[in-house]
Amino acid sequence: MIENKNCIIRLSHYKSALNRFKSLGFIKIFSDYLADAAGVSSAQVRKDFSLFGIAGNKRGGYQIDALLEQLNVILGKNQIQNVILVGAGHMGAALLRYKNFEKEGIRIVCAFDIDPAKCTTKQEIPVLPLSELEKYVAEQAVRIAIICVPAIAAQATLDMLVKAGVKGVLNFAPIQLKAPEDCSLSYVNVETELENLIYKVNARERSDMITREKAALQD
């Protein structure tokens, strides 16, 4: 099992870039084009591909269709992945309406919420009461879930998902969670990303200001 998260993320980026090249009419592609579109060096592309046994033709480049198929097999995208979502608030509802997942082989099949007012079976993706989660996960053999509940309810939600048999969770709640070893946990934390950006912008401004002050003193 190749554990390097960054490598898998790069494979995802290569796949997105390949789909864009394909939609522009390209049939073959060189590693340096792909590298440029994915924001890495072409040596990195070749290294990543060789790690997974993907061979290219140095003169002719890669066949886009064949390459996409290989990447889909590696990323487990040759079959549709059913995903459930817990918490149908603003963020959860936005994800339910998001159309890009399907073309990536990901399908949100059902959502769950503790609030009866949010539950409905009249939409394309049903929102069921939280009490039905365990049965649904077992019956449909769901292994991947997205948590969109408030921070205070997130750990209890994760525990419930793990008990039901879910093996991978993407957490949108702004809190660090604890999962057993056989359940993978990823985070999307918009506040943290914004805070980090704000810090960087402020730090750069301070450092620019100091540079300007020093220059003014030397004049």
Give the residues lining the site for a second copy (CB under 8 A).
1-2, 5, 8-9, 12-13, 16-17, 20, 37-39, 74-77, 81, 83, 90-91, 93-95, 97-98, 100-101, 104, 106, 143-144, 146, 151, 167-170, 174-176, 178, 182, 184, 186-207
Taking the complex as a whole, how short is the minimal distance between the CB of residue 61 and a second copy, in angstroms? 20
Helix axes of 42-51 and 31-38: crossing angle, nearest 10 degrees: 100
Which run of H or of E encompasses 106?
strand 106-113
* Alpha-carbon span 133 to 160, nearest angstrom: 8
The answer to whether 22 and 68 have CB atoms below 8 angstroms apart is yes
Taking the complex as a whole, how short is the minimal distance between the CB of residue 152 and a second copy, in angstroms? 8
* Alpha-carbon span 42 to 30, nearest angstrom: 9
C-beta of 50 vs 196, nearer to a second copy: 196
C-beta of 181 vs 219, nearer to a second copy: 181
Taking the complex as a whole, how short is the minimal distance between the CB of residue 77 and a second copy, in angstroms? 7
The answer to whether 134 and 118 have CB atoms below 8 angstroms apart is no
C-beta of 88 vs 128, nearer to a second copy: 88
DSSP letter for 57, please.
Answer: B
Taking the complex as a whole, how short is the minimal distance between the CB of residue 117 and a second copy, in angstroms? 16
Number of residues in the chain: 219
Per the structure block, which two tokens stand in for 33? Answer: 């084009």
Residue 185 CB partners (closer than 8 Å, separation 6+): 158, 168, 169, 171, 177, 179
Taking the complex as a whole, how short is the minimal distance between the CB of residue 210 and a second copy, in angstroms? 10
Q: Where are the alpha helices (DSSP H) in 132-189?
A: 133-140, 151-164
C-beta of 37 vs 109, nearer to a second copy: 37
C-beta of 57 vs 201, nearer to a second copy: 201
The answer to whether 187 and 208 have CB atoms below 8 angstroms apart is no
Taking the complex as a whole, how short is the minimal distance between the CB of residue 27 and a second copy, in angstroms? 21
C-beta of 86 vs 146, nearer to a second copy: 146
